[in-house]
């Protein structure tokens, strides 16, 4: 489990992709590796990876074909910069939101606009994840816990303040950059509970409607 608060920016040092999956080695930058053990989890651009080898400056992880198919890893190359966060501890300050490290979609940056000393990032919003994205709700972009500030039919907007930009790889984004998205896990659990209560079969598409929410007591 992660919080979406980035601890360091790392760099891909090696990535070997085969029919069996991939082995990736990352240079960890300023990430403190003193308490890392084999089998620990480190979120890499929002993807939960298991440490299989490490020293104080690097770690390696195996990436399954499933992960390659569902995330941006298939397009990563040596030199790629990535956001890093170690798994949270029971004593960790919970500064972001609950992040599982399981990517829901890879989407493109549609446009970036100046907004005072901040920047507005508009991202594509595929129809299959749109029901889980809410204005002023939380979303994870390449492992970063962020707030959705507005929505259109097929896009959502993030406003990135200078501190967030400085601590993450977001300044490297441009129109067309592909990023990993994880929706708020609570939205998925609420949908599952509502579908069970309503005695309907749950599939990959969302059946959450305003009528269903009202009938279940979530809105009046």
pLDDT for residue 206: 60
The predicted pLDDT at position 195 comes to 72
**Cβ distance 184 to 121 under 8 Å?**
no
pLDDT digits (tens, 9 = 90+) for 90-138: 777 777 888 999 999 999 999 999 999 999 999 999 999 999 999 999 9
**Same domain for 112 and 80?**
no
pLDDT of residue 220: 53
Same structural domain for residues 128 and 170? yes
* Least confident span in 3-7, 31-35, 193-197, 198-202: 198-202
Which pTM does this prediction carry? 0.84
Give the pLDDT score at 37: 97
| Residue whose entry in the numeric block shows the structure tokens 């298939």 | 74
Residue 203: predicted pLDDT: 52
In which band, very low, low, confident or very high, does the pLDDT at 12 lie, cut at 50, 70 and 90?
very high
What share of the chain in percent tops pLDDT 90?
74
Residue 41 covered by a domain:
yes
Question: Do residue 169 and residue 193 come from a single domain?
Answer: no
Same domain, 116 and 79: no
For residues 136 and 162, state if they share a domain: yes
Domains of the chain: total: 3
182 forms beta bridges with 140
Residue 179 lies in a domain: yes
For all residues of the chain together, what is the average pLDDT? 90
**Phi, psi at 37, each rounded to 5°:** -130, 160
Assess if residue 100 is contained within a domain.
Answer: no
> Are residue 109 and residue 180 in the same domain, yes or no?
yes
DSSP-assigned letters across all residues of the chain: -B-S---EEEEEEEEEEETTEEEEEEE-TT---TT--TT-EEEETTEEEEEEEE-SSEEEEEE-HHHHHHSGGGG--TT-EEEEEEPPPTTS---S--B-S---EEEEEEEEEEETTEEEEEEE--TTTGGG--TT-EEEETTEEEEEEEE-SSEEEEEE-HHHHHHSSGGG--TT-EEEEEE-HHHHHHHHHHHHHTT----SS----HHHHHHTTS--
**Residue-level pLDDT at 197:** 65
Where in the sequence is the domain holding 145, given as residue range(s)?
105-184
Nearest to 174 by CA among 103, 106, 117, 123: 123
The predicted-structure confidence for 166-212, as pLDDT tens digits, reads as follows 999 999 999 999 999 999 888 777 777 777 666 555 455 566 666 66
For 65-89, write each residue's pLDDT tens digit: 999 999 998 889 999 999 999 999 8
120 with 170, same domain: the answer is yes
């Amino acid at each position: 489990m992660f919080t979406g608060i980035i601890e360091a920016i790392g760099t891909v040092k090696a990535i070997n992709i085969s029919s069996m999956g991939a082995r990736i080695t990352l240079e960890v930058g300023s990430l403190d590796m003193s308490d890392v053990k084999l089998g620990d989890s480190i979120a890499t651009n929002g993807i939960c990876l298991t440490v299989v080898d490490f020293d104080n400056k690097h770690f390696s992880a195996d990436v399954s074909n499933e992960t390659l198919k569902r995330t941006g890893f298939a397009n990563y190359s040596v030199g790629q910069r990535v956001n890093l966060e170690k798994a949270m501890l029971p004593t960790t300050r919970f500064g972001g939101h609950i992040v599982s490290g399981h990517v829901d979609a890879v989407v493109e940056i549609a446009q970036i606009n100046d907004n005072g000393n901040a920047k507005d990032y508009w991202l594509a919003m595929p129809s299959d994840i749109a029901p889980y994205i809410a204005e002023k709700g939380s979303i994870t972009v390449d492992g970063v816990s962020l707030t959705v500030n507005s929505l259109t039919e097929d896009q959502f907007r993030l406003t990135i303040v200078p501190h967030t930009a400085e601590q993450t790889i977001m300044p490297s984004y441009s129109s067309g950059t592909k990023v990993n998205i994880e929706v708020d896990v609570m939205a998925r659990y609420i949908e599952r509970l509502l579908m069970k209560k309503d005695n309907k079969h749950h599939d990959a598409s969302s059946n959450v409607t305003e009528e269903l929410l009202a009938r279940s007591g979530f809105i009046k």
